[in-house]
Structure 1
Amino acid sequence: MNSTIEHAISMLHLFKGVKTQLDPALKSFYAWKAPPTDFLKLNVDGATFHHLHKARICAVLRDQAGKVLMATSKGERGVADPEMIEFLAVLRGLKFVVSMGISQLIIESDCLFIVSQLNDAESVTLSPWASIIADIRHLLFAFLDVKISHVSRLWNGIAHELARHTWQVESIQMWWEGFSDFISQAIWLDSRL
C-alpha cells in the first residue's frame, strides 16, 4: 500500500514538472538532449533524506536514441552533505559503467558546483572532497573522450526522480532491460518534453 502511495506521489511530481512546461519553445529547451554520435550519456543525481539519515545516488545510461541501457540506484548511509552525495553519484555512476567498454561518455549532473569542481584542473586539493575528486578523475582516464556537463534538473529528470523514488531501497538496484513501472513512466514522460 505504501509503495502505491509513494508511486502516485512521484508521478504527481513528474506531472507537475511536465505541466509547467506547456510552451513548445520551453519544451524543446528543457528536453533531454541526445549525445553526439559515438557517445553515450550518463545522467547522475543524488538525494538526501535527512529525517531518515540516509541518501540515494542514481545513474542512468542512455544512447543517442534515448534508449536506457542501464539504470541504477544505490543507498548511501551516513552522508548528510548534499555536495558529497552529488560527488558520490558521479563516482558510483562511473564505477557502474567503466567496465562496459564505453570509449566516449558525457556525464550530466544538475549540481553546478560539482561539475565546476570536476572540470577545474586547479581545484583545491585540500577541499573536504579532495579524495573523492581524485577517485573520479582517476576513473575518467578509462575513457578516450569524456565530458562533464551541468544541466537543468528538468534535463536530468529521470535520474532525479529515480533518486527520490527509490529512497526505501537499502542496497543496490540495477535495471538492464526490464524496467520497473516507475522508470518506464519517467522515460515516457521525459520523451514527451
Structure 2
Amino acid sequence: MRDTNLKRRMIISDDCCDHCKGSPEDMVHALWSCPLLSPMWTHDPCWNFRASQSFATFRDLVEHFIETGVDLNYFATIVWTIWHRKNALRTTAKPCPVQQVLHEARSAQATFVRSIPPKRPDQGSGDPQQITWKPPVSQKLKVNFDGAVFREEQRAGVGVIIRDEHGSVIATMAENFPLPFSINAVEVIAAKKALKFALELGLSAIVLKGDSKYTMDALLSEEVSLADIGHLIEEAKLYVDQLDEVEFVHVKRPGNKTAHNIARYASHVSKFSV
C-alpha cells in the first residue's frame, strides 16, 4: 500500500496506518482489516467472516470471494470508496464518515446501473417468421434461461425453465440476487445459475438456450475474458465441465419468452423459488 511503499523508498520513516495508527498500512489492512473500518463491514451479514478469517494478501481475499460467490463488483465499489475516503483524510478537513461508505458505494453503483441503456427490442422484418419451440435431440433436455434487472430494488433476477423432448416442463426456477455492475454480468450470472440448477437436478446432457449473444459466445470461447466479469464466466465454465454434454444455442427474445417472464417474476420471490 502507499505508506508501506513510501517507507521502502525511504520517503517516510513510519508506515503505520494513518487511520488507526496501530498496524503497517498494507493493502489488506487499509481496505479490509483496519479495526476502524469495522462499523462499516459489520453492517452487512455477508462480511461476517471478516472476524474469523485473515488473509496474507489482497489476492487471497479476492480469491476467497470468488470461491464463496461474493459479488465482486459490489466489493470493488466499496473498496474504491474506502480508498477515496483515505485520500480525503489526507487532503480535506471533512472526509466521508466511515458509516457512510456503504451508502456512497450503493449510490455509485446505482448511478452506473441507471446509465446502462435498456435492451433494444428485436427489430422485426416486414414479414417476421414465427418462432416456435422445437424439441431437443439425442435425449437432451432444453434449459432456457434469462436475466432481468429491478433497478428500484437494486436487485436482479434469473428465470430458468427445463423441458423434455415433448415440451413437458421438468422444472422451473426463479431467483433474485444483488444487482451487479452491468447487464452482461446479469446475463452471465443467470447462465451460471441455470447450469448449477441443471446439475442439482442430476442432469447430464442439456441444450442451454439464452437470448444474450455475449453470454453464449463467452461460454463457447476457449479463453476466459480478463474483463470485469471474467471471473463469472470462469465460474460458469466450471459447471459446464461437470456436465457430460452441453450444447449452447443463442435464441432471440421471442423464443425465450417463458424464461424471461420467470426472470421478471423473480422480483416477487424470497431470493429463490423452484
Structure 1 stretches lacking a partner, 5+ long? 1-19, 175-193
Corresponding residue to 1:71 among 160, 172, 186: 172
Of the two, which has the highest radius of gyration?
Answer: 2
1:163 aligns with 2:263: yes
Whether the aligned pair in 2 keeps the contact of 1:61 and 1:68 (CA below 8 Å) is yes
Superposed displacement of residue 103, structure 1: 2.1
Superposed displacement of residue 128, structure 1: 1.1
CA distance in 2 between partners of 1:166 and 1:57 (Å): 7
Tell me the alpha carbon deviations over residues 103-135 of structure 1, each in whole angstroms, 9 at most, x when there is no partner: 2111001001111111111243x1111111111
Moved over 3 A (4+): none
Superposed displacement of residue 56, structure 1: 0.5
Corresponding residue to 1:144 among 231, 241, 244: 244
CA distance in 1 between partners of 2:273 and 2:246 (Å): 25
Q: Where does residue 94 of structure 2 map in the other structure? A: none
TM-score for both structures, normalised by structure 1:
0.72
Q: Where does residue 144 of structure 2 map in the other structure? A: 43
CA distance in 2 between partners of 1:50 and 1:78 (Å): 8
CA distance in 1 between partners of 2:140 and 2:266 (Å): 28
Aligned to 2:129, the other structure's residue is in SS state helix
Q: Where does residue 104 of structure 1 map in the other structure? A: 205
Q: Where does residue 59 of structure 1 map in the other structure? A: 160
1:31 aligns with 2:132: yes
CA distance in 1 between partners of 2:252 and 2:134 (Å): 11
CA distance in 1 between partners of 2:224 and 2:242 (Å): 21
Superposed displacement of residue 80, structure 1: 4.3
Structure 2 stretches lacking a partner, 5+ long? 1-123
What letter matches 1:45 in structure 2? D
CA distance in 2 between partners of 1:54 and 1:80 (Å): 11
TM-score for both structures, normalised by structure 2:
0.52
Whether the aligned pair in 2 keeps the contact of 1:41 and 1:108 (CA below 8 Å) is yes
Number of aligned residue pairs: give it. 151
Tell me the alpha carbon deviations over residues 128-152 of structure 1, each in whole angstroms, 9 at most, x when there is no partner: 1111111111111122211111001
Aligned to 1:52, the other structure's residue is in SS state coil
What letter matches 1:167 in structure 2? S
Tell me the alpha carbon deviations over residues 15-48 of structure 1, each in whole angstroms, 9 at most, x when there is no partner: xxxxx9xx8x822xx1122111310011010000
What letter matches 2:253 in structure 1? R
CA distance in 1 between partners of 2:174 and 2:255 (Å): 18
Whether the aligned pair in 1 keeps the contact of 2:159 and 2:264 (CA below 8 Å) is no
Superposed displacement of residue 55, structure 1: 0.8
User: Which of the pair is proportionally richer in strand?
Assistant: 1
Tell me the alpha carbon deviations over residues 57-82 of structure 1, each in whole angstroms, 9 at most, x when there is no partner: 11111111111101000011132421
Q: Where does residue 17 of structure 2 map in the other structure? A: none
Which structure ranks higher in relative contact order (CA pairs < 8 Å, sequence separation ≥ 6)? 1
